[in-house]
Amino acid sequence: MKKVLRWIDQRFPLTSFIKHELTEYPTPRNLSYWWNFGSLAGIVLMIQIVSGIFLAMHYKADATLAFDSVEHIMRNVNYGWLIRYLHSTGATAFFVVIYIHMLRTLYYGSYRSPREIMWWTGQGLLVLLMATAFMGYLLPWGQMSYWGAQVITSLFGAMPFFGDELVTWLRGDFIVGDATLTRFFALHYLLPFIIVAAVFIHLVALHSVKSSNPSGINLADKDNIPFHPYFTVKDLFGLCIFLVIFSYFVFYKPNLFIMAENYVPANPMQTPAHIVPEWYFLPFYAILRSVPDLLGGVIAMGLSVMIFAAMPFLDRSKIPGGSRYRPFHRFMFYAFVIDIMVLAYVGAAAPEGFVIPLGQIATFFYFASFAILPFASKIEEKWLIKRGLPAEVEAMMQSEEAQKADRRQRKQDRRKTKRKDQ
């Protein structure tokens, strides 16, 4: 084995790459289990890709055969039921892991300088994941799949000037039909591999600026330890817990995340009484329905996803650690999580009675949370500094100010040098 590795190292820096980026990668020693969800997301992505490849071997992307091909996989293909349930439950698990990973980043302020690009690449991954999930939801060709695609694609018709053309381009036809199914299948198969490439970009951004930690303070080298074996074991322990929970749903509750209507073949002549997207889209669907104007609702729904990219600029506090040392920020975080749950309930409920004003109030609070953050963060910062901060937090803030002053001085020196050369 050593000879093989030596032969490879002479032609490709495999060993040095593994040491630098994996085993000996310096990691803050105080990372909690909340940091496990990044690696868990990678594991779930692999589960989805492998199970999806096996499903694609038996699936027929044809409007007359798609539903029956799924039933064929479930009933006739060896362990086809297991592959299908791994994939359908894995979609839910993927969003659970990603949302927790995202909430951890928001709570601890890991989106702040110098990790803005890492945060933005993560946002790009979320958009790709949503697009992949939406296209995959059509493939079973059940009632809810068909009408969900019908409703969502028709929303693009609200765009001025070229809305109708855009809807036709997305569907490949004037209605959701065979052309829509074919292109959605092709894109659903392709996008996971694009996500893998985006994950590598995300990891490069992470390793360039190093991992954040619960304190929000850039730890000295003496406080960092190699990733292996400590965090390898920690990740494996988290993976074991995840697999136990995941296996329970796969083997005992697989239909919990599959709507009953999707076991009925798609019928363009019969609209379901209540069209509901998958649970991970419910908050955004509630925001769409809460705006009376269709175009305004589409814009609000898109903005509700993309607005997170502005977090590095909206959170103007210089106090590190996110919510750890900031009580008002912590209150806003928990209130925001509760608001998302309310929106999910509104999205799942029929739009009638008290649900309509409840959705409008929750939507207003959703966007108000971002609007007041720049002002609240500065007011809270002044109050906390006046009250007094822990010594290590004050030291970190002073260090950051010194680094900014040093960068400004270097810029001035470079300008002076250029003037002399001219």
What span, in angstroms and rounded, lies between the C-alpha atoms of 95 and 41? 9
216: left (phi over 0), alpha (psi -120 to 50) or beta: left
Alpha carbons 166 and 153: distance in angstroms, whole number: 9
- The vertex-29 CA angle with 26 and 34, nearest 5°, equals 105
Q: Where are the alpha helices (DSSP H) in 139-162?
A: 143-155
CA dist 98 and 225 (Å) reads 26
DSSP character for 20? Answer: I
Which residues, in sequence order, are CB contacts of 99 under 8 Å at separation 6+? 280
Active site residues: 207, 211, 234-235, 278
Backbone angles phi, psi at 234, to 5 degrees: -65, -45
Dihedral, CA of residue 311, residue 376, residue 332 and residue 319, to nearest 10: 70
**Which residues in 59-71 are b (16+ Cβ under 10 Å) and which e?**
bbbebeebbebbe
